[in-house]
Structure 1
């Protein structure tokens, strides 16, 4: 009798668990798993036309894409973009959070000023910076003209186009990441600061030895979000450069859109999407297997 009741209780608990997982599992299946499988299937098929239906091509699409020099240029652009924007945005966000968390006059105004770029729509922010970068008329050229410098086409030169996009990204994301750091700082026990003062620790020592390790879970969370953001930028490119000049500022997701909707090359777009998904999956695996073990959770 006891064994029967125990089995019945286990079934009820299992059913209850599946009921809790059900909504999230359904949404993930409809909007994540099935589209990913469909994309994988499309990456293995040839390009279809009105007279010629698509057939199985295997890994030929992958070989064709990796043989395209634009692929390596876009990959290099995205790696450089991520290598610059992620650490700069995170360092600025941490510095702003430490300042905004201090006992300053008009502290609420400072926090609002830091967060204002994040509240702007992506298209509005890109148009704002388009005014800054306009040769001869933009704010940057007006400022540099005061020092006798010549006009610069920031978005029209291969040497400066991608860096101009990076500046917009850092300006837009640093305030967003600052909110997470600020929330984490406000959860730190004030007893730790008092104990550090009693021990004679300087502010830098307290920040490096106490604050930063305790902020590590927040840092990992921000890092993952920044990595995802680094491969999904498309709005700013539409307004500012459209991937030019000569693909100098073209990033992965914009190239996927271009292949799928401008060139109607669905297999190539699917291949690039699969490669992006695999890259993000590897990053997530490294995060869960390596970084989590080195992260201190309170």
Structure 2
């Protein structure tokens, strides 16, 4: 066997285990879900029938779907920029030579290691009307009592705050690792040139952090789409679907209403959104990113 052919065969054999797992647990479920979305849901003795795009036509007329999609858009816009900005700020702070740096790093990262159900229950106590922690603070300031999770105007915003608190510490770890890879001579050179701290961050530091930012951005987007735990515990999508997100609505359709075919169609929408985000990332953002 020629050396070049042998190298190719060896490479594919090394990739084979990961390729098999990828096909079995990623590609095949996606194809099966797309196929299942073209059929009706079997019920009792009635077998599934081919309905084509009927589930997708019904989706266009489903007001709850559009409400969940709109909520998810606002949820992503509320959580992603705020989580990234807070993560960068925390990483810059704990990367410096300050007292108690180890304790601060641990404190910022602690919400990440807590299970999402536990986090939801903690914040559920914070938001509880009349005797919750937030109510105690607002009451001490003379402000009226408010049901944060029971009001349409504040329910989604309250869940956004929980997601930011949970994710910012996790993203901080990636930025902290990236900052420690940047040579301190760049800061010294910028100081000699008379650059301010903001100018150094904007012109030097942030461009070097762009690869990490892209990685964090994709993870934050995925997290915003697959968020379901604390919605289930805190609001169950209420009031009146004001805090329902796409994945929670899929859970409702599939496991509460037992309409697996329509749930499959909704799942394809989520995959399409994530696929579009991946295309934007690899086709446009990567070209504008500087890799060391």
TM range (shorter): over 0.9
1:51 deviates by 2.5
Equivalent pairs, count: 292
Residues 1:201 and 2:195 are matched in the alignment: yes
User: C-alpha distance in 1, partners of 2:175/2:127?
Assistant: 31
After the TM superposition, which residues 50-129 of structure 1 pair with which residues of structure 2 at under 5 Å, given as runs?
A: 50-129=44-123
Q: From 26, 45, 53, give the equivalent of 1:32.
A: 26
Structure 2 counterpart of 1:46:
40
Q: Tell me which structure has the larger Cα radius of gyration.
A: 1
Question: What displacement does 1:127 show?
Answer: 0.6
**Which of residues 185, 188, 202 is equivalent to 1:191?**
185
Q: Distance in 1 between matches of 2:285 and 2:35?
A: 33
Partner of 1:171: 165
Q: Distance in 2 between matches of 1:197 and 1:10?
A: 51
Give the CA deviation at 1:102.
1.2
**1:139-288 mapped onto 2 (5 Å cutoff):** 139-288=133-282
Runs of 4+ aligned structure 1 residues displaced above 3 Å come to none
Structure 1 residue 291 and structure 2 residue 285: aligned? yes
- How far apart are the structure 2 equivalents of 1:48 and 1:57? 12
Deviation per CA, 1:249-298: give whole Å up to 9, x if none.
00000111110111000111000100111111111011111101000000
Offset, 1:28: 0.6
Using the alignment, how far apart are the partners of 1:151 and 1:97 within structure 2? 36
Q: 1:153: how far off? A: 0.8
Provide the alpha-carbon RMSD of the alignment: 0.8
Is the partner of 1:189 in helix, strand or coil? coil
How far is 1:10 from its partner?
Answer: 2.4
Q: What is the rounded CA distance, in whole Å, between the counterparts of 2:207 and 2:239 in structure 1?
A: 43
d(CA) in 2 for partners of 1:218, 1:205: 20
* Alpha-carbon distance in structure 2 between the residues aligned to 1:66 and 1:38: 22
Task: Quote how far apart the aligned CAs of 1:200 are.
Answer: 1.2
Separation in 2, partners of 1:222, 1:20: 28
Task: Summarize deviations over 1:222-260 as a string: whole Å, max 9, x none.
Answer: 000000001001110111001111000000001111101
1:190 positional shift? 1.0
| SS of residue in 1 equivalent to 2:206 | helix
Listed as ranges, the gaps of 5+ residues in structure 1 are 1-6
Tell me the alpha carbon deviations over residues 56-93 of structure 1, each in whole angstroms, 9 at most, x when there is no partner: 11111100011111111011000000011100110011
